[in-house]
Amino acid sequence: MDASDHIDGQARDGLIRQLVDWAQAKPRTYGEAIEAWPSSCPALTIWEDALAERLIEVRGVTGAGTRGSEVRVTEAGRALLSAAR
């Protein structure tokens, strides 16, 4: 089950674009991302969907722990944003 089972595809896609745009706006940590985009609702899996679609990635930072890992927009994520503009 993913968010598309509970919200229409256009709304889901818009939320995913919003997440990718947010991540691209400035350097973000995993901790910031999880606070801003929590996955507490099984009907809204925007964070997981963006990861699964490889639009964003989480990269470890030596000595930073999980919450300090970097969230980066991938080439696919940048292409998604370019296509939406």
State phi, psi for 66 to the nearest 5 degrees: -60, -45
pLDDT average, residue stretch 4-24: 84
Mean of the pLDDT values across residues 19-30? Answer: 95
Q: pLDDT (tens digit, 9 = 90+) per residue, 29-77?
A: 999 998 888 877 766 788 989 999 999 999 988 888 888 889 999 999 9
In which domain, by residue range, is 74 found?
Answer: 27-85
CB 46 within 8 A of CB 11: no
In a domain, 16, yes or no: no
Q: Are 37 and 46 in contact (CB under 8 A)?
A: yes
pTM here is 0.81
In a domain, 12, yes or no: no
- Tracing tokens 């606070």 back to the chain, one arrives at 35
Whole-number pLDDT of residue 77: 96
Confirm whether 35 is domain-assigned. yes
Cα(56)–Cα(51) distance, integer angstroms: 5
Question: What is the rounded distance in angstroms from the CA atom of residue 75 to the CA atom of residue 18?
Answer: 16
| Domain-embedded: residue 21 | no
Quick one: pLDDT band at residue 12, thresholds 50, 70, 90?
A: confident
Q: 9 lies in a domain?
A: no
